[in-house]
Amino acid sequence: MHISERTKNIPTSPIRKLAPIANKAEKEGRKIYHLNIGQPDIETPDSFFKATREFRPKVLEYGKSQGREELLEAVQKYYKEWGMDYSLDNIYVTNGGSEAISFAVMTTCDPGDNVLMFEPFYANYKSFVGAYNIRINGVPTSPDDGYHLPPEEEIEKYIDSRTRALLISNPGNPTGVIYTEEEMKLISRIVRKYDLALIADEVYREFVYDGKFKSFGSMPELDDNLIIIDSVSKRYSACGARVGCVISKNAAMDEQLLKCCQARLSVSQMDQAGAAGLYTTPKVYWETVRKEYARRRDAIRTALAAMPDVVFSQPKGAFYVMVKFPVDDIEKFAKWLLTDFSIDNETVMITPGNGFYVSSPELGKDEARLAYVLNCDALKRAMYILGEGLKQYPGRTR
Amino acid sequence: MHISERTKNIPTSPIRKLAPIANKAEKEGRKIYHLNIGQPDIETPDSFFKATREFRPKVLEYGKSQGREELLEAVQKYYKEWGMDYSLDNIYVTNGGSEAISFAVMTTCDPGDNVLMFEPFYANYKSFVGAYNIRINGVPTSPDDGYHLPPEEEIEKYIDSRTRALLISNPGNPTGVIYTEEEMKLISRIVRKYDLALIADEVYREFVYDGKFKSFGSMPELDDNLIIIDSVSKRYSACGARVGCVISKNAAMDEQLLKCCQARLSVSQMDQAGAAGLYTTPKVYWETVRKEYARRRDAIRTALAAMPDVVFSQPKGAFYVMVKFPVDDIEKFAKWLLTDFSIDNETVMITPGNGFYVSSPELGKDEARLAYVLNCDALKRAMYILGEGLKQYPGRTR
């Protein structure tokens, strides 16, 4: 039977690509510190489980396609507290942030259209657009200036007649960058000048370690162009609930989003009840979590700074840092760490950086994304092992 | 901002299109018998809720993209009891049958390719293929011969160089047809002759009222071409769990399905635990449910037979019947029932049939799908109201 070119062209997730090798090592008894995946070790608030225990209908029926009312209202209230006003008709519950992104790109782009993204970007964006035959125009940013944006006229060079949207994550995955107010204004000018959709993936909004986060949703001039991607996955350490949402004030967009929702009928009812429960979690939860991540951020930064010939982004938000290593080939290095190296039968898993780039296979070949999702002791140990691994790796270039 | 042609072209679900009108009538205090949606009123087994209550991890992590092992094993065991052997690598858990269909069509078809479907077909199939710019080649079947298949050479006329798959639901939604063994052999010959994927939506497998169900999975000659769509939604009256799966013995297909799963990370962990629980439900459950639906099927058949000038399919499986009414325009009739007609402030909601066709806007214009998902008393009352409505409807043609 025929296999579509579309699917064949979708790359294997770089975050999960090495999983079989890691699984094998773990089955053989090796302990692996997972710096490869954004899976927090933070406890999920009991409010989720309390709400799901209480959700006991006689018949587990389809829900409303748009989402359960209690959850839509909880999201609305959450945004109000951030100073953003959305009507319930602006909010559409999705199967995680993943489906929110899928809906955003499929409603704005036809096959052959393209989306502007700043490289490096979250690797799964490739799958979401690839599924719909949408291309990516990758705008390079560099570790040397902390992955911040190039000048406006430089960005404009990547816009053509088929560019329909700009997809950006802020706080940035995989770089940990937080865009400055100036950069946000620049983006706002560009999307309005070319009437692009601005797809703002702000799922790491709560994870900002120096100063306060500013959402694209707080810029009223963007109301017509903005599509916000959101999720409870990281906000409440509930990745396995698969509850996100997509938000837009553009009425024509809302009409399409509702159709997208109706096509797949509804999102899990119980998880939506649980997610609504999560939104009742006292705000002190985030304070505690943020402090914990700030400590981890400091720990990983200190460890990286002590490694010779290593260049890395200053992680300001989310829980990732993009690192340039003095190695021949990051995939080889990542595999070698899993198969050929260990200290006391312990090793580390990192995500090769090339998967986060699209414009050239050479890009990211010596970079990796590290997720600081482990407690400080585990993280320090992991970074020690990584540092020793780097010293001994035969493909070291310096 | 630009709205894609792709999404604009996706029709609003005929099953949900009249929902705003129905909601308004219900808010005004009118009771509506919902014959429009395949939402069973059968109680969900407690095994679901028992399993979800017991699922209490400290951290609600992402699951394995392919699915939770306990659920994969439960599905494998379920199929073994049907006499079908699948390895765990053949099974991929999805967000309901909906996502299973999306994966099946996106992995087999590129934009501009087409899928063969027998009209009338489940209306949401249009959305699933439309999202990926895949076309539908609709092969007509007729209420006059119970929506059974046309001759082989007739079907072949609808196959062209861009036909990649044949998507069929058996038991049939919306017709309630069960294909005969001869018809299944015919389909098998066609898909092998043209090397098409056979996407078999068998989610209503347990709902067969005369005789035994035969799965396409029991025909070994189809191993390389078959993709099975499955779901717990109807099987265990758990539509709101959103847990399905897609199954294939074709290794090249499995490789693509895994990538599809990885792209959206995982399915809800708690619902998967619940679904695994459902598979431990004693088999007597189905006997009870089947008997109940058989009674309803008989009730709706009797009621329809008593209506003059009404033609309907002989409902043999699933819980739908497709009915041809002597009316000018089925959408008008369906709306009129909601807004202009009632008996003791009660009325019925039906799904206009034109949404189940694609090859001409004239098709299905006097047909409707009725779902017999209400208990016998409610169903009899609903059919009485429908019959009286039909008598009084001003647009009656005979």
List the beta bridge partners of residue B200: B168, B228
pLDDT at B274 over 90: yes
Contacts of A128 in chain B (CB under 8 A): 263
Q: What whole-number distance in Å separates Cα of residue A301 and Cα of residue B45?
A: 51
Contacts of B270 in chain A (CB under 8 A): 52, 240-241, 268, 270-271, 274
> For chain B, what is the mean pLDDT?
95
> Of A215, A248, A278, at which residue does a domain stop?
A278
Domain of residue A122, CATH code: 3.40.640.10
Q: How many structural domains are present in chain A?
A: 2
Same domain for A112 and A29, yes or no, is no
**What is the pLDDT, as a whole number, of residue A12?**
83
Identify the sign of the CA torsion A114, A115, A119, A120: negative
pLDDT at B204 over 80: yes
Contacts of A63 in chain B (CB under 8 A): 240
Where is B164: in which H helix or E strand? strand B163-169
pLDDT tens-digit profile of B238-251?
999 999 999 999 99
Same domain for B248 and B341, yes or no, is no
pLDDT tens-digit profile of B55-96?
999 999 999 999 999 999 999 999 999 999 999 999 999 999
pLDDT at B313 over 90: no
pLDDT at A37 over 90: no
The band of B20, judged by pLDDT with boundaries at 50, 70 and 90, is: confident
pLDDT at B323 over 80: yes
- Taking the CA of residue B394 and the nearest CA in chain A, the distance in Å comes to 32
Beta strand B320-324 with B311-312 is antiparallel
Where is B78: in which H helix or E strand? helix B69-81
ipTM for the predicted complex comes to 0.95
> Of A245, A278, A311, at which residue does a domain stop?
A278
Q: How many CB atoms lie within 10 A of CB A172?
A: 27
Q: What whole-number distance in Å separates Cα of residue A163 and Cα of residue A65?
A: 30
Domain of residue A340, CATH code: 3.90.1150.10
Contacts of B94 in chain A (CB under 8 A): none
**What is the pLDDT, as a whole number, of residue A346?**
98
Using a CB–CB cutoff of 8 Å, tell me whether B268 touches chain A.
yes
Pick the closest to residue B234 from A269, A61, A270 (CA basis).
A61
pLDDT tens-digit profile of A248-304?
999 999 999 999 999 999 999 999 999 999 999 999 999 999 999 999 999 999 999
Mean pLDDT of B320-341: 96
Where is A6: in which H helix or E strand? helix A5-8
Tell if the CB–CB gap between A110 and B58 is shorter than 8 Å: no
Same domain for B181 and B121, yes or no, is yes
Mean pLDDT of A366-378: 94
Same domain for B297 and B264, yes or no, is no
The band of B253, judged by pLDDT with boundaries at 50, 70 and 90, is: very high
Same domain for B67 and B140, yes or no, is yes
Pick the closest to residue B35 from B384, B396, B397 (CA basis).
B384
- Taking the CA of residue A58 and the nearest CA in chain B, the distance in Å comes to 5
Same domain for A271 and A306, yes or no, is no
Pick the closest to residue B22 from B330, B239, B337, B329 (CA basis).
B337
Mean pLDDT of B287-307: 95
Candidates B4, B160, B221, B223: best to mutate against A (most CBs of A within 10 A) is B4
User: Token pair of B25, please?
Assistant: 């009538």
Residues A147 and A322 sit within 8 Å (Cβ to Cβ): yes
Candidates B268, B281, B373: best to mutate against A (most CBs of A within 10 A) is B268
Evaluate whether residue A274 is within a structural domain.
yes
Pick the closest to residue B357 from B81, B206, B138 (CA basis).
B138
Q: Which of residues 153-212 of A touch B (CB under 8 A)?
A: 164-165, 195-197
Q: Tell me the H-state helices in chain A.
A: 5-8, 14-17, 19-27, 46-54, 69-81, 96-108, 125-130, 152-156, 181-193, 251-263, 269-278, 284-305, 330-339, 376-392
Mean pLDDT of B253-273: 96
Q: Report the percentage of chain A scoring pLDDT > 90.
A: 92
**What is the pLDDT, as a whole number, of residue B132?**
97
The band of B392, judged by pLDDT with boundaries at 50, 70 and 90, is: very high
Residues B139 and B174 sit within 8 Å (Cβ to Cβ): no
**What is the pLDDT, as a whole number, of residue B343?**
97
**What is the pLDDT, as a whole number, of residue A15?**
74
pLDDT at A14 over 80: no
Residues B113 and B134 sit within 8 Å (Cβ to Cβ): yes
> For chain A, what is the mean pLDDT?
95
Out of A111, A237, A263, closest to residue B10 by CB: A263
Same domain for A354 and A313, yes or no, is yes
Residues B246 and B103 sit within 8 Å (Cβ to Cβ): yes
Tell if the CB–CB gap between B239 and A62 is shorter than 8 Å: yes
**What is the pLDDT, as a whole number, of residue A398?**
84
**What is the pLDDT, as a whole number, of residue B303?**
97
Evaluate whether residue B398 is within a structural domain.
no
Same domain for A32 and A87, yes or no, is no
Pick the closest to residue A270 from A45, A53, A47, A44 (CA basis).
A53
Tell if the CB–CB gap between A7 and B39 is shorter than 8 Å: no
Rounded to two decimals, what is the model's pTM?
0.95
Same domain for B255 and B295, yes or no, is no
Evaluate whether residue B99 is within a structural domain.
yes
Q: What whole-number distance in Å separates Cα of residue A359 and Cα of residue B105?
A: 28
Same domain for A187 and A271, yes or no, is yes
Evaluate whether residue A267 is within a structural domain.
yes
pLDDT tens-digit profile of A147-193?
999 999 999 999 999 999 999 999 999 999 999 999 999 999 999 99
Tell if the CB–CB gap between B16 and A197 is shorter than 8 Å: no
Where is A93: in which H helix or E strand? strand A91-94
User: Token pair of B282, please?
Assistant: 């004693």
More reliable by pLDDT, A398 or A389: A389
Same domain for A31 and A141, yes or no, is no
- Taking the CA of residue B356 and the nearest CA in chain A, the distance in Å comes to 14
Using a CB–CB cutoff of 8 Å, tell me whether B128 touches chain A.
yes
pLDDT tens-digit profile of A75-124?
999 999 999 999 999 999 999 999 999 999 999 999 999 999 999 999 99
The band of B15, judged by pLDDT with boundaries at 50, 70 and 90, is: confident
Using a CB–CB cutoff of 8 Å, tell me whether A60 touches chain B.
yes
Pick the closest to residue B316 from B289, B292, B298 (CA basis).
B298
List the beta bridge partners of residue B114: B135, B163
**What is the pLDDT, as a whole number, of residue A363?**
93
Distance of CA A20 to the CA centre of its chain: 22
The residues, ordered by sequence, that sit 6+ positions from A382 with a Cβ below 8 Å of its Cβ are A33, A35, A348, A374
The band of B293, judged by pLDDT with boundaries at 50, 70 and 90, is: very high
Mean pLDDT of B164-175: 96
Domain span at A311: 5-43+284-392
Evaluate whether residue B81 is within a structural domain.
yes
Radius of gyration (C-alpha) of chain B in whole angstroms:
21
Helix (H, G, I), strand (E, B) or coil at A316: coil
Distance of CA A56 to the CA centre of its chain: 33
Candidates A65, A223, A242: best to mutate against B (most CBs of B within 10 A) is A242
Q: What whole-number distance in Å separates Cα of residue A76 and Cα of residue A65?
A: 17
> Of B278, B305, B321, at which residue does a domain stop?
B278
Same domain for B155 and B166, yes or no, is yes
| A377 HSE (CA, 13 A, CB side) | 0
Evaluate whether residue B231 is within a structural domain.
yes
Evaluate whether residue A180 is within a structural domain.
yes
**What is the pLDDT, as a whole number, of residue B73?**
98
The residues, ordered by sequence, that sit 6+ positions from A220 with a Cβ below 8 Å of its Cβ are none
pLDDT at B16 over 80: no
Evaluate whether residue A11 is within a structural domain.
yes
**What is the pLDDT, as a whole number, of residue B98?**
97
